[in-house]
Chains A and B, each alone.
Chain A
């Protein structure tokens, strides 16, 4: 592999505005391949395919429909996929969708492929292009953006140990909160 591409996520920047999800749907149609998880009170996470280093989807697929490119992006060969759904069961991050095509009356496994089919190589995927807070970024995980510190794991999220997704997080900073004083008779 030359360089593994992946997503970078500045947790403190995400406002759960869903622009990434809406842009993904605009690019690829429903149901779209990205979602926002509002985990707990303090922060949210925008998630899609992790393009894992050890992808379970690829391992379990009985028809070898998945392949990992030299840039780490995992793509699905539609012609091979028979819609069995094993990959969806296996993905720990719920990144694979089974999409029904009413014309062919078939289900096909589909997921984020970094907009490879709709955009020129090296242009940002639709979700990153849409993110206006700078929460979501992309690039080779070996050369992360800025001087920031990036982590494989984020508290409250899945463990990355098993499939090693190409996702890097900035953990939230500590913040000051002054809750209302007397919480009994303020209205």
Chain B
């Protein structure tokens, strides 16, 4: 007899929404999912990917058993037991420790494949429990903009994004919620239904731009210049007072001086904006006008101009008063993932001597380490070969290591370059807690099904491996392998979390997600804004042209998120992968295509000094000439064209600067 019941799960992907969902479980497997009506952000709805989650769980390509690749890099994977896998990893760990007297030769690389508080932190906790080690650090997604805003505002406190429904005007700079944050759109539409205006500013005429009342097209990297132009115009109109900027803002006098020194010609040329666009934005941002909610997207900070752009847009909201006007604000990032206890990691104090390496230069820097060199790498929640620059360096480095371990759900490109592959669980097969980097909801993910095959949650992997290590060498691991999933839940919802979220225990979340009511005690509030830079104001830190050796190539390549994937995740997912972008397109302005002898439908190569990728040409007359747009994809991923080798000085911040990519284009021979 079949039985059916419903369980609450949470989508763990790196996405603004962090949707809670209701899973219908039949005979022990998830068969259908719906949005959780009690989650105040997704409100009973899911995205196209979300509705396909049962297929993701059942995917025939899921990793179900530990594998050993032998010979190395041969593509021959042999099923082994967890004991055998642990024996291999432990042997390398012990050998390195015995040689160097430290675990620094063991490194991990992880980011956002699963953002659950327990699972994302488990293996980090395992490494912390080993003492000194080598770890990845930074935020390749949004770090540059975050650092810029923290410098300028001193703190980061965001309004619940549901408040956008009350906005009189929403101005989105460089974000495309129609593709990356679809659940936000209903709040924006609610504002528009009440007469609010939506303006979208983007070099690409995105789905969000199409929906907007006003679309402003800028050059790539034009945002900072456009924002400065709007401020300059408002000053000239007498709407913004220079003296008030000088008096009320640190670095204000330098800012006024630097802005005066910028000619209209420079501002308009570098922004790429039509004069009417600047006038329209000046009208929207006029201090006497209705409050504006500004949304600074992550797209515009993925280049050398990122920090400059983010600070200039924020400065526009500051000098016009809209940032702190009732009904006005600036949205960027809700840092809750950093404010929660993150017990599976933080319960284990960070040892002295931990070597932390930035994402963007990880392979290059880690490969150069000595005393000790990195000998073993454990990857989880990450697929750098499909995502990071310096791919050639990465591949060579992986080959040079004694042991590469990957924990994942699917045989990613990186997993396929590993010696040991450990099968992880889907969110249906473990417990977890989730907060969002956008909305203010906290959700509980409950186990809906037992793991398929021999898959183990990362928490179970960390605990069982820790026990294995200590059985062989008592005291080698200090990871708290005595705690169960529910013990960790108890610890995570500590007194401070109970206060912030108005709950008594994690058990309260079984009835549904809750919204944060109070900020955390340690949360930094705004101080007096600071426009200063290294020499004068931040305006003087505007980026020079790239020094990349590919700078003289004909095209700038933009690679925004795809609708039906999260980076390399969900590739080939049954039920959605055929819906849109089924082919790997590159969008080209028709005149550029004609100049390069390319027709729609041709197979083309995009290439530069780092590599080449193949795409199908599609024409789009709404593009700026010289700009190509393609999705990141998994097969022939865009990162093959990304290389950090040639930049003279790394730009401020930690975000990947993929939107700096320059390349050339040609029709592939014999493709017609």
Interface centre among A176, A182, A186, by most B CB within 10 Å?
A186
CB neighbours (8 Å) of B413 from chain A are: none
Knowing A41-B210, A43-B210 are in contact, say whether A180-B219 is a contact too (CB < 8 A).
Answer: yes
Q: Is the CB of B215 within 8 A of A16?
A: no
A4 is an interface residue with CB less than 8 A from chain B:
no
A127-156 CB contacts (< 8 Å) to partner B: 129-134
Knowing A180-B203, A186-B220 are in contact, say whether A133-B185 is a contact too (CB < 8 A).
Answer: yes
A15 is an interface residue with CB less than 8 A from chain B:
yes
B157 is an interface residue with CB less than 8 A from chain A:
no
B71 is an interface residue with CB less than 8 A from chain A:
no
| Minimum CB–CB distance for B190 against chain A, Å | 9
Bound state CA distance, A108 and B272, in angstroms?
Answer: 56
Q: Is the CB of B624 within 8 A of A178?
A: no
B230 is an interface residue with CB less than 8 A from chain A:
no
Q: Is the CB of B272 within 8 A of A133?
A: no
CB closest residue in chain B, given A118: B32
CB neighbours (8 Å) of B35 from chain A are: 130
- Choose among A13, A129, A173, A186 the residue that contacts B626 (Cβ–Cβ < 8 A): A186
- Choose among B49, B207, B222, B277 the residue that contacts A16 (Cβ–Cβ < 8 A): B207
A64 is an interface residue with CB less than 8 A from chain B:
no
A48 is an interface residue with CB less than 8 A from chain B:
no
CB neighbours (8 Å) of B455 from chain A are: none
- Choose among A12, A25, A41, A187 the residue that contacts B555 (Cβ–Cβ < 8 A): A187
Q: Is the CB of A186 within 8 A of B624?
A: yes
Interface mask (A165-187 → B, CB under 8 Å = 1, otherwise 0)? 00000000101111111111111
A76 is an interface residue with CB less than 8 A from chain B:
no
CB neighbours (8 Å) of A21 from chain B are: 48, 579
A1 is an interface residue with CB less than 8 A from chain B:
no
| Minimum CB–CB distance for B72 against chain A, Å | 39
B213 is an interface residue with CB less than 8 A from chain A:
yes
Knowing A26-B52, A186-B220 are in contact, say whether A130-B625 is a contact too (CB < 8 A).
Answer: no
Q: Is the CB of A178 within 8 A of B52?
A: no
CB closest residue in chain B, given A27: B32
Interface centre among A13, A131, A183, by most B CB within 10 Å?
A183
CB neighbours (8 Å) of A44 from chain B are: 207
B521 is an interface residue with CB less than 8 A from chain A:
no
Q: Is the CB of A178 within 8 A of B217?
A: yes
Interface mask (A33-75 → B, CB under 8 Å = 1, otherwise 0)? 0001010011110000000000000000000000000000000
Interface SS of chain A: loop
| Minimum CB–CB distance for A31 against chain B, Å | 9
B260-289 CB contacts (< 8 Å) to partner A: 268-269, 272-277, 280
Tally of contacts, chain A with chain B, CB under 8 A? 151
- Choose among A13, A18, A175 the residue that contacts B212 (Cβ–Cβ < 8 A): A175
The total of chain B residues at the interface (CB under 8 A) is 63
CB neighbours (8 Å) of B440 from chain A are: none
Q: Is the CB of A131 within 8 A of B45?
A: yes
CB neighbours (8 Å) of A130 from chain B are: 35, 45-46, 51
A110 is an interface residue with CB less than 8 A from chain B:
no
Q: Is the CB of A18 within 8 A of B563?
A: yes
Knowing A26-B575, A177-B215, A184-B625 are in contact, say whether A15-B182 is a contact too (CB < 8 A).
Answer: yes
Knowing A176-B213, A180-B272 are in contact, say whether A15-B624 is a contact too (CB < 8 A).
Answer: no
Knowing A41-B205, A134-B189, A187-B626 are in contact, say whether A178-B182 is a contact too (CB < 8 A).
Answer: no
- Choose among A15, A22, A42 the residue that contacts B51 (Cβ–Cβ < 8 A): A22
A19 is an interface residue with CB less than 8 A from chain B:
yes
Knowing A19-B47, A22-B579, A186-B272 are in contact, say whether A180-B215 is a contact too (CB < 8 A).
Answer: no
- Choose among B185, B268, B277 the residue that contacts A178 (Cβ–Cβ < 8 A): B277
CB closest residue in chain A, given B622: A41
Interface centre among A13, A15, A44, A129, by most B CB within 10 Å?
A15
| Minimum CB–CB distance for B354 against chain A, Å | 41
Q: Is the CB of B186 within 8 A of A178?
A: no
| Minimum CB–CB distance for B20 against chain A, Å | 14
Bound state CA distance, A178 and B268, in angstroms?
Answer: 13
B540 is an interface residue with CB less than 8 A from chain A:
no
Q: Is the CB of A17 within 8 A of B47?
A: yes
Q: Is the CB of A17 within 8 A of B182?
A: yes
CB neighbours (8 Å) of B34 from chain A are: 129
CB neighbours (8 Å) of A17 from chain B are: 47-48, 178-179, 182, 207, 563
CB neighbours (8 Å) of B186 from chain A are: 132-134
B576 is an interface residue with CB less than 8 A from chain A:
yes
A30 is an interface residue with CB less than 8 A from chain B:
yes
Bound state CA distance, A156 and B461, in angstroms?
Answer: 56
Q: Is the CB of B280 within 8 A of A176?
A: yes
A109 is an interface residue with CB less than 8 A from chain B:
no
CB neighbours (8 Å) of A95 from chain B are: none
Bound state CA distance, A22 and B580, in angstroms?
Answer: 11
B122 is an interface residue with CB less than 8 A from chain A:
no
Question: Could you name 11 residue pairs across A and B whose Cβ atoms are closer than 8 Å?
Answer: A13-B189, A18-B48, A18-B580, A19-B182, A25-B52, A41-B210, A42-B210, A129-B45, A173-B213, A178-B214, A180-B274
Which B residues fall within an 8 A CB radius of A?
32-35, 42-52, 54, 178-179, 182-183, 185-186, 189, 203, 205, 207-208, 210-220, 222, 268-269, 272-277, 280, 555-556, 563-564, 574-576, 579-580, 621-622, 624-627
